[in-house]
Chains A and B, each alone.
Chain A
């Protein structure tokens, strides 16, 4: 998937108002079409679609609680999405997000519980770093297998996901199990609560919004700088754009591919760490809840651009949170939301065709202009 070809062209020519409007409108049109089909399904279930969708928007944005929920959900989506941006730009597909989040969360649980006397200013950054490294290792393994042995990364990342899940099961029910649960005889599948110095500060009282979201946004800027303002970033993008040409200009293609997969894993690992440190304050089952896959969708909605992934993850988070609220309010089964979300993804991604056609059209028109002026 080559990144947006028209990028440079956009900057080169005059401000293309209609094109912008068109580009932004199309994904929205796709989304609305999916919601329309969802409305039909709602009608079949004897629910008023207008009420239902109003509840959805209300749930996502209409209250402090809802808005913070949306942002809390958007955070891991953004972080995984950032990793995906890096990987996809090198033409590497990372489906290993789930496993990388898990090991990041595992590391970010084990570390503070082991070094629980460390002060917060030391514990928090080091835990985040440990989480990053754990995820990076989980991305490195498929990366090196791809680089050295040409093993396809789709295969290895899917397998690593399953391994990570079992690893978490193993640890959570033995070494990491909450001692309180053992003594009470409940044996819950969760770890002990993290020491308070490892907790990420809550931004809004009585909500789950925490500084992890700010960290995520800061990292988005870092990734942007990395990809567009450093040599390494340039090389990664070159590899993705045209691997043959990159090789000719002396860039080590396999190394950069492995690197991108490692970095992608690292960012997913941070997502896991922040979930544990900022939201749950402990490790428990279901901590990934599909973010490994939804993050891919968020990255693509954001045009594979780190800064674009920010609004894209907020939007996706809103859909998820709003969907839950809709489920509660009109008592439709949860699965309806999943089905509608699937349609949203299909249609939004399908609508990109016309964006590209329009962009190509503009590109040709601009080239023709230049010719005529010459």
Chain B
């Protein structure tokens, strides 16, 4: 068992940073984000503008050309029960697994 490095945290999508992302992370370290003890979270008011201010994204024409072609099917895959029957594994995720995020906000 390991005692975690105090400077580490659980990070989503955090593997193999490139030089660019590493530089961003170093910059972020100066801001010293990180985590407090589990179970002590305060609710946070909305911090993020919806996809507005930081947006700045434009869609390449190539993608626009495929709008109709790649409309996804009516399949309910993303609301489907976990893998279970197909994978041969048993059980399912925790009781909250099927629920949408309860509430909250997000900043980028």
- Mutual binders A and B: no
Q: Which residues of A contact B (CB under 8 A)?
A: none
